[in-house]
Amino acid sequence: MNSIRRNPSLAAGGTLVTLLAAIAIFGPLIVRANPDAIDLRHALAGAGAHHWLGCDSLGRDMLARIVWGARLSLGVSTAVAAISLAIGTLIGGAAALAGGRVDNLVMRAIDVVLAFPGFLLAIALAAILGPGLADLIVALTAMGWTGYARLVRGEVLSLREREYVEAARALGARPSRLLIRHLLPGIAGPVAVQATFGVGGIIIAEAALSFLGLGARPPAPTWGNMLEAGQAFILVAPHLTTAPGVAIGLSVLGFNLLGDGLAQLIERRR
Amino acid sequence: MIRYLARRLLALVPVALGVVTLTFALIHLVPGDPVSAMLGDYAAPADVAQMRHVLGLDRPMGQQYVGFLYGLAHGDLGQSISQHEPVARLIRERFPATLELTAAGLLAALLIAFPLGLIAGANPGGAGDLGAMGFAILGISVPHLYLGPLLMIVFSLDLGWLPLTGRGGLAHLVLPAITLGTALAAIVARMLRQSLVQVIGADYMRTARSKGLSRRAALIRHGLRNALTPVITLIGLEAGALLTGSIITEMIFSWPGLGRLLITAINNRDYPLVEGCVLTFALSYVIVNLVTDFLYRAADPRIRLE
């Protein structure tokens, strides 16, 4: 109770994210309606006993689509965050440990990618690779890894001078062991914070790409696809946009609060 | 100051070249053949070959790259396939609309953020703080994909105060600007609050109060100015993102700008036009970042112009 009062962001964010994860994992097992089953008799139906969130323009159950969409949207977003994190850590860490010309070259390359607006890069890549889940993940990863590479490089450079790292090096530890055993645990905190905020950003970017018709191919029930499909019916059936809009909003809110809470936690520990 | 500016402009050259090269590589090197995408899977081989020739895609990659740079240096971005007009002309027609929207979005963000940040920062922990920061958290979390349609329903359809879509007078600008600016407003408001809370405890604030200035006067005259530096940095960092955020906003409100041109070009598989739009966005982003960096240094004399 005391810890909740001291760090309400962590408690609220953690609860929201846990809840969303539970919906993504178990939701499709509980909501048995088929998210792709078309039933034109119920097209644009409002919320009711059989369809708790109503039906879309083809009579598909909105609740089922939201729940399956949680799996897709959250799955894609966490996958992208994890892959970006892995690539960024590898490149940033290696550059910092190699130092000198390699470091210089890598950072120059990253500067060029960073000079390119991330969302535009994702749009261009998604447009060229074509619609599809794997292509979507590639496009979103291209947008995000540079931030982690920069962060990890900076943290490694500052940690490298610490005594315990110097001691390990003096004992003959190889660079790879140095990075994995001694440096990564030291930078896990700030990286975790950035990754948590990152997931929120990726959820919005994923929805935006889907909205532009560059995400997962319909009828895949991603929240972005649902928002896009609902916009044509905004006058007659606003629930088609409200449901995915609120789902995206709550997810982003959850990850932002969690990131805030984690940052406070780390700050207090230091 | 001038030497600093000159050096920054010089440093811009490799970055701009990198951005140009990346754009070229995106279109020409990423797997996926633009021609077969344009003509479909069942196109006759002769048609594909002819289209490749028309677009110059049958030339060696190095030659294509040099040709691309040469054209760029002469303001020639090629010919749009779907609209049969020079890409440069199409972009010139649409770009002002995007700049207008981005500037309006920035203005909207500041008009929302400053009152909120001031209310929250002046009385941390109070009701105003809770309300303003609650709004800020909402603003960050509501995607503009959803906010735009929501504003349309309330202010255009229900209340009938503002036009629904399109570009025209000032009234047309209000809803798109709010849609585009809200996320930035939320981030800036939070930063301003945090910055003000730190400043309020400073010695010079106590001095100002002990001189007999009211809390409010001290806050506005002495506190705000010092709290502003990190806020300006943040605005600078985020201003470029507004430019690409405008793509979604333009799609929602049928705003005839560069973003809609880009998405239409993508849907038409009009690769020369896609390339031109991506390049224009990317180079504008680089320039916006340079300008904000410069303004930020000009705003805070403590930062040496190295």
For residue range A232-249, list pLDDT tens digits in order: 887 787 888 888 989 999
CB atoms within 10 A of CB B302: 6
Q: Pick the more confident residue, B111 or B53.
A: B111
Residues B59-110 pLDDT 10s: 888 888 888 888 888 888 888 888 888 999 999 999 999 999 999 999 999 9
pLDDT of residue B299: 65
Q: Are A142 and A121 in contact (CB under 8 A)?
A: yes
Sign of CA dihedral B250, B254, B255, B256: positive
pLDDT of residue B236: 76
A19 — pLDDT class (breaks 50, 70, 90): very high
CB of B22 within 8 Å of any CB in chain A?
yes
DSSP state of A217: P
In chain A, whose CA is at the least distance from the CA of B241? Answer: A117
Residue B108: name the closest of B167, B159, B183 by CA.
Answer: B183
CB atoms within 10 A of CB A88: 26
B139 — pLDDT class (breaks 50, 70, 90): confident
CB of B30 within 8 Å of any CB in chain A?
yes
Contacts for B151 with CB less than 8 Å, ≥ 6 apart: B175, B178, B179
Helix-, strand-, coil-residue percentages of chain A, each rounded to 5: 75, 0, 20
Q: Return d(Cα A207, Cα A221) in angstroms, integer.
A: 11
Task: Name the CA radius of gyration of chain B, rounded.
Answer: 24
pLDDT (mean) for A93-102: 86
pLDDT of residue B13: 83
Residues A70-89 pLDDT 10s: 988 899 999 999 999 999 99
Taking the mean position of all CA atoms in its chain, how far away is CA A73?
9
Residue B27: name the closest of B279, B263, B281 by CA.
Answer: B279
B204 — pLDDT class (breaks 50, 70, 90): confident
Tokens representing residue B294 in the block? 């410069």
Q: Return d(Cα A85, Cα A147) in angstroms, integer.
A: 9
CB of A106 within 8 Å of any CB in chain B?
no
The three-state secondary structure class of B79 is strand
B160: left (phi over 0), alpha (psi -120 to 50) or beta: left
State the number of CA atoms in the 13 A half-sphere of A106 facing the CB.
Answer: 23
Helix-, strand-, coil-residue percentages of chain B, each rounded to 5: 80, 0, 20
Q: Return d(Cα A97, Cα A156) in angstroms, integer.
A: 8
B302 — pLDDT class (breaks 50, 70, 90): low
Ranges A72-76, A114-118, B37-41, most confident: A72-76
Q: Are A67 and A23 in contact (CB under 8 A)?
A: yes
Q: Return d(Cα B169, Cα B6) in angstroms, integer.
A: 38
Q: Return d(Cα B209, Cα B221) in angstroms, integer.
A: 11
Residue A154: name the closest of A187, A123, A181 by CA.
Answer: A187
pLDDT of residue B30: 67
pLDDT of residue B292: 75
Residues B270-291 pLDDT 10s: 888 888 998 898 888 888 878 8
Q: Return d(Cα A12, Cα A152) in angstroms, integer.
A: 28
Q: What's the mean pLDDT when you consider all of chain B? A: 83
CB atoms within 10 A of CB B171: 10
pLDDT (mean) for B188-197: 86
Percentage of chain B beyond pLDDT 70 is 94
Question: Among residues 272-301 of chain B, which lie with CB inside 8 Å of chain A?
Answer: 274, 278, 281-282, 285-286, 289
Residues B140-166 pLDDT 10s: 888 888 888 888 888 887 887 888 777
Q: Are B180 and B246 in contact (CB under 8 A)?
A: yes
- Residue A146 in this model has a pLDDT that exceeds 80: yes
Tokens representing residue B262 in the block? 């880009």
Q: Are B156 and B252 in contact (CB under 8 A)?
A: no
Contact B32 A256 (CB under 8 A): no
CB of A117 within 8 Å of any CB in chain B?
yes
CA of A267 vs chain B CAs: smallest distance (Å): 15
- Residue B37 in this model has a pLDDT that exceeds 80: no
pLDDT (mean) for B184-205: 84
Taking the mean position of all CA atoms in its chain, how far away is CA B162?
24
Contacts for A79 with CB less than 8 Å, ≥ 6 apart: A137
pLDDT (mean) for A24-45: 79
Ranges A31-35, A135-139, B90-94, B242-246, most confident: B90-94
Q: Are A214 and A125 in contact (CB under 8 A)?
A: no
B123 — pLDDT class (breaks 50, 70, 90): confident
CA of B266 vs chain A CAs: smallest distance (Å): 6
Tokens representing residue A78 in the block? 């966490």
Complex-level ipTM: 0.80
DSSP state of A179: I
pLDDT of residue B282: 87
Residue B261: name the closest of B102, B106, B82 by CA.
Answer: B82
Question: Among residues 80-99 of chain A, which lie with CB inside 8 Å of chain B?
Answer: none
pLDDT of residue A270: 65
Taking the mean position of all CA atoms in its chain, how far away is CA B249?
11
Of the candidates B19, B149, B262, the beta carbon closest to that of A115 is on B19
Burial class (CB in 10 A: 0-12, 13-18, 19+), B115: middle
pLDDT (mean) for B266-272: 82
Contact A241 B149 (CB under 8 A): yes
pLDDT of residue A173: 81
Q: Return d(Cα A182, Cα A172) in angstroms, integer.
A: 13
pLDDT of residue B90: 93
Of the candidates A128, A213, A227, the beta carbon closest to that of B146 is on A227
pLDDT of residue A1: 54
State the number of CA atoms in the 13 A half-sphere of B251 facing the CB.
Answer: 23
Q: Pick the more confident residue, B205 or B301.
A: B205
Q: What's the mean pLDDT when you consider all of chain A? A: 84
Total residues belonging to chain B? 306
CB of A111 within 8 Å of any CB in chain B?
yes
Dihedral angle at the C-alpha atoms of A142, A143, A145, A148, nearest 10 degrees?
Answer: 170
Residues forming a β-bridge with B86: B79
CA of B253 vs chain A CAs: smallest distance (Å): 11
pLDDT of residue B306: 44
What are the angstrom distances between the C-alpha of B3 and each of B7, B8, B236, B274?
6, 9, 22, 37
Q: Are A263 and A270 in contact (CB under 8 A)?
A: no
